[in-house]
Structure formats: structure tokens, C-alpha cells
């Protein structure tokens, strides 16, 4: 992967002129029972009650706080245990390449025991062609087929059953639902991962999914803000340009606007958005995109109080063709993301070295780090009384 100094200069210039509100106070999940791998999907408020936030932060060194803002893909139990024990990452990601004995044989408990604070165990189990554990819990139809063949309440009930199966395996967060609004062909990058080309239908079915997962205590993450459904291509293979922000307002942004208070987190995509992002700075590392979501005023929504995740920063050419993983993670967190996602563990020490330098230099304010750590803790159900 190569660095692109012009991109970095553009990011720094954007940070200097745009407020991401990433240092706004974290807020509260509804009451949940704390556990090493239990996530509360309820929304959070902006201030911690009492000293529980301070007590939580006091458990962690600066490097460990920064680790809490990372979610990384793992190959199996040993890889996961090592990265959790040595770097105290906030989450691990189970992908198609992961040895499924990590979940099937209950080895996730071994991994969680290496964490000083609650660990997220994440997956992107959408159904259809994006399904990591269908061999363990059975297949599910794609979002598009679901919306064509079920009512929203039938989908809710089916999701409760499937969500419980995920939770029984040890999964605590699912990077779903996909709330992109799309009429693309089924096999395109979004395609049948979208419930519909009608924002109202997408909202209805995504709401059913989120409600079901909230009920059983598995976190959800809406994606890909501000909307990938009409993008010019596939961010896995290169840069993607969306329609202008003015056009996204009436279609792509509608489900996010409708569901901003649902308790789901939000994943920001690697999307170049005319009228929003600086040239050559995709939304996942853009202060303007983070501010749009966090403030809400730019698209008529309530301020978003939950965690902001990036899409994969290490395996998608929309990022990797522009910058290294160290550059990308720093840029994302400086822009206002709470959690940087990528799919391997080997770069974690280098990323943490870079992030410590960013805090030391003031590029990444320490209070912003603390706010993100607490926001993630509430999403994980680790601060139920705050």
C-alpha cells in the first residue's frame, strides 16, 4: 500500500476547517446486564452519571484506550487471543477466512478472558451472499428477497430466532442491516443486499431487524452512510462516487434519518460525495461526513449519539490505493469516527504507535479518545448505570 501525501494534506486541511463533533459526550445505552461479550444496542445520552465513566477509563492506559477504538479481523482463536491480550483491541471481526471453531467450539470465551474490559465479537451476517456462519446457523435469504417474500413483522420474528443463534455462538455485534437504497442488479456490490429502491421499505425492514436484535441484546450497525446504493462502483476495487449530497437527501439518507435513534451504530462507507466530502477524501475519513452524521442538521436528522464505525480500512482499494493502514486509521479517528475496522491483526502495533504519536502531537485530542472509548463502552453494555 502506498501513501499519498496530497490526500493527507487534504484531510488535515479538512480537519482544520470542519467540526466533526467527535468530542461530544457519549450517551447512554438503556439498562443492560454487563458481561464480557454482551452488547446493549440501546442509544446513549451525552453525559456519564457519577464516576462510572472515569472509573472505566482509569482501567486503561492511553495505548489501551486507543486499542479500544479498533476492531480487527482474526484468523482464529490464537490470533484473536494474542491481539486482545497484547493490544486490548475493542473488537474482533469474524470473516469468511476465520476458523469457525472460534465460535462453534466456544473458544470465544478464551479470547474474552484476555480482555481487561468488555470485548466486541463482530460479524457481517446479512443473509444472502453475505453470510459468514450459514454453515453453523443455516442460510437466510438476501435482503431484497426478504422484502419481496415476508412482511416486516415476519422478518422481525425470523431475526429474533437467527439473532439468538448468533448470540449463542458468542457474537455480540452484527454489521447489519444494510440500509442502502438501491435498484442495482442483484449481483452488483449492493444489489440484493438492499431491501428495496424505496426508502420507506428499507426503513420498515431495517427497523424490524434492529428491533429484533435489540430485544435479544445483539448490537446492530447500519451501513453504508451516507448511502452506497447509487454509487458509481465497488469500493472493494476502487474509488466510488455517489450522486451529489442534494440528491442523497431524498433517497439514500432517508433510512439513516428515520433510524438515527433506533439504537443501531452506523458504519460510514468509502464514498466520495460531491457537495460533502473534500476531493479524494472518502466519507470514512472525512470530517464533513462525520459531522453530517453526528450533528444531523445537514440532513434533517436528530444528532447521532451512538458509535461511528468505518468500513474496512485495510482490504478495500477505495482506501488502500490512497494510503497506508496507519494513515487511514489516524485519519478516520481524527475525522470523528469512534472505531476503525480492518481485517488483519499484523498492523495493530504499528497503528497504535501512530495513534500514540497523534495524541502526543495534539492531532487526536485525548478528550476525543476518552469520549469515543466511553461511547463504545455504552454500546457494549459495559456502563449500564451511566
Active site residues: 236, 311
> What is the largest distance, in Å, between two alpha-carbon atoms of the chain?
55
Looking up cell 477505495, which residue turns up? 318
Can you tell me the distance from the alpha carbon of 122 to that of 220, in angstroms, rounded to the nearest whole number? 10
Q: Are 263 and 242 in contact (CB under 8 A)?
A: no
Assign residue 25 a region (left: φ > 0; alpha: ψ between -120 and 50; beta: otherwise).
Answer: beta
Can you tell me the distance from the alpha carbon of 374 to that of 362, in angstroms, rounded to the nearest whole number? 20
- The C-alpha angle 277, 279, 284, rounded to 5 degrees, equals 45
User: Of 375, 334, 306, nearest to 57 (Cα)?
Assistant: 375
- Which residues touch 258 (CB under 8 Å, ≥6 apart)? 199, 203, 207
User: Of 117, 138, 136, nearest to 58 (Cα)?
Assistant: 117
Q: In angstroms, what is the C-alpha Rg of the chain?
A: 19
Can you tell me the distance from the alpha carbon of 114 to that of 80, in angstroms, rounded to the nearest whole number? 9
Tell me how many helices (H) and strands (E) the chain has: 17, 10
Q: Are 367 and 33 in contact (CB under 8 A)?
A: no
H-type alpha helices, 170-301: 199-216, 245-248, 254-259, 287-295
- 267 three-class SS: strand
Which three cell numbers, joined as nine digits, stand for 138?
443455516
Q: Are 213 and 253 in contact (CB under 8 A)?
A: no
- 241 three-class SS: strand
Looking up cell 469515543, which residue turns up? 372
Per DSSP bridges, beta strands 91-94 and 120-123 are parallel
Which three cell numbers, joined as nine digits, stand for 317?
482499494
Phi, psi of 322, deg, nearest 5: -105, -30
Amino acid at each position: 500500500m502506498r501513501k499519498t501525501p496530497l490526500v493527507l494534506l487534504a484531510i488535515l486541511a479538512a480537519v482544520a476547517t470542519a467540526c466533526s463533533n467527535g468530542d461530544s459526550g457519549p450517551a447512554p445505552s438503556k439498562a443492560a446486564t454487563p458481561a464480557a461479550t454482551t452488547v446493549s444496542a440501546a442509544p446513549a445520552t451525552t453525559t456519564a452519571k457519577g464516576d462510572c465513566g472515569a472509573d472505566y477509563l482509569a482501567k486503561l492506559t492511553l495505548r489501551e484506550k486507543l486499542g479500544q477504538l479498533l476492531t480487527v479481523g482474526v484468523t482464529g482463536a490464537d490470533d484473536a487471543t494474542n491481539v486482545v491480550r497484547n493490544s486490548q483491541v475493542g473488537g474482533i471481526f469474524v470473516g469468511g477466512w476465520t476458523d469457525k471453531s472460534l465460535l462453534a467450539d466456544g473458544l470465544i470465551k478464551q479470547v474474552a478472558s484476555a480482555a481487561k474490559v468488555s470485548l466486541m465479537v463482530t460479524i457481517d451476517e446479512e443473509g444472502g451472499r453475505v453470510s459468514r456462519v450459514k454453515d453453523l446457523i443455516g442460510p437466510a435469504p438476501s435482503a431484497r428477497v426478504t422484502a419481496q417474500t415476508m412482511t416486516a413483522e415476519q422478518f422481525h420474528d425470523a431475526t429474533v430466532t437467527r439473532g439468538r443463534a448468533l448470540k449463542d455462538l458468542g457474537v455480540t455485534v452484527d454489521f447489519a442491516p444494510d440500509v442502502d437504497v438501491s435498484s442495482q442488479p442483484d449481483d452488483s456490490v449492493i444489489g440484493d443486499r438492499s431491501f428495496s429502491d424505496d426508502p420507506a421499505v428499507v426503513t420498515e425492514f431495517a427497523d424490524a431487524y434492529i428491533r429484533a436484535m435489540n430485544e435479544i441484546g445483539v448490537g446492530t450497525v447500519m451501513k453504508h452512510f451516507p448511502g452506497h446504493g447509487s454509487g458509481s462502483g465497488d469500493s472493494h476495487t476502487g474509488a466510488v462516487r455517489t450522486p451529489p449530497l442534494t440528491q442523497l437527501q431524498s433517497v439514500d439518507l432517508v433510512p439513516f434519518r428515520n433510524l438515527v435513534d433506533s439504537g443501531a451504530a452506523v458504519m460510514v462507507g468509502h464514498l466520495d460525495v460531491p457537495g460533502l466530502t473534500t476531493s479524494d477524501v472518502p466519507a470514512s475519513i472525512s470530517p464533513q461526513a462525520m459531522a453530517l452524521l453526528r450533528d444531523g442538521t445537514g440532513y434533517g436528522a436528530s444528532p447521532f449519539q451512538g458509535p461511528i464505525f468505518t468500513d474496512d480500512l485495510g482490504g478495500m482499494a477505495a482506501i488502500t490505493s490512497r494510503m497506508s493502514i496507519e494513515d487511514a486509521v489516524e485519519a478516520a479517528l481524527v475525522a470523528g469516527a469512534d472505531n476503525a475496522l480492518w481485517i488483519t491483526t499484523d498492523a495493530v502495533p504499528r497503528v497504535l504507535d501512530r495513534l500514540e504519536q497523534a495524541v502526543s502531537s495534539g492531532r487526536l485530542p485525548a478528550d476525543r479518545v476518552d469520549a469515543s472509548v466511553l461511547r463504545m463502552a455504552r454500546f457494549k453494555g459495559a456502563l449500564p448505570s451511566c
